[in-house]
Structure 1
Amino acid sequence: MAIPKALIASFLISILVIHLVEADPTVNADATTGSPNCGAACSARCQLSSRPNLCKRACGTCCARCSCVPPGTSGNRDVCPCYATMIIRGGQLKCP
């Protein structure tokens, strides 16, 4: 009895998806453990920004690289030195 190719393909895709989800360290991470949920942390950080989409995108990049976001909507950069020292071309701070 032959196993249909569609069944084999769907089984392999399911295994791949499960592997990718388990390999992602940011899924369901807790901010108190040192690896924050970047989406929630950046939403809080950027809530008062005049350009919230740009702020969240930059914050998300910084959070992914540094694994931290300073508390509050501005300042507190001493809490996360990596976040505080990241710069873009021209010497401006990257992280909001």
Structure 2
Amino acid sequence: MKCWIATLLLVTLILGSAFLESTEATYPSFCDSKCGERCSKAGLKKRCIKYCGICCAACNCVPSGTYGNKSECPCYRDKLNSKGKSKCP
């Protein structure tokens, strides 16, 4: 009986981790494509993409266009850095 429970637990952990890996893989590709579009005209693209990615991961959205339109995503708009300025590009 103990062996059966241990096997069931092991199978559950394996399936659970496979599910988590597949869902985590979708968000980075979503954020990468949206932030790539958002930062396409930025002067400092690496920095723009870095902060956009942080904001996208936290908010699960990125405003359309390359500048402005932050009202489309209030979470993205309201994130502030330590100096009180907008964290998200």
Given the two structures, how large is their TM-score scaled by the length of structure 2? 0.74
1:81 aligns with 2:74: yes
1:68 aligns with 2:61: yes
Larger helix fraction of residues: 2
Percent identity (aligned) = 35
Could you tell me which residue of structure 1 aligns to residue 5 of structure 2?
none
Q: Choose which of 29, 32, 38 in structure 2 pairs with 1:39.
A: 32
> Could you tell me whether the CA contact under 8 Å between 1:26 and 1:37 is conserved in 2?
no
Distance 1:47 1:64 in 2: 19
Unaligned runs of 5+ in 1: 1-14, 30-35
Unaligned runs of 5+ in 2: 1-12
Aligned residues: 76
Given the two structures, how large is their TM-score scaled by the length of structure 1? 0.69
RMSD: 2.2
Distance 1:61 1:95 in 2: 8
Partner letter of residue 27 of structure 1?
Answer: A
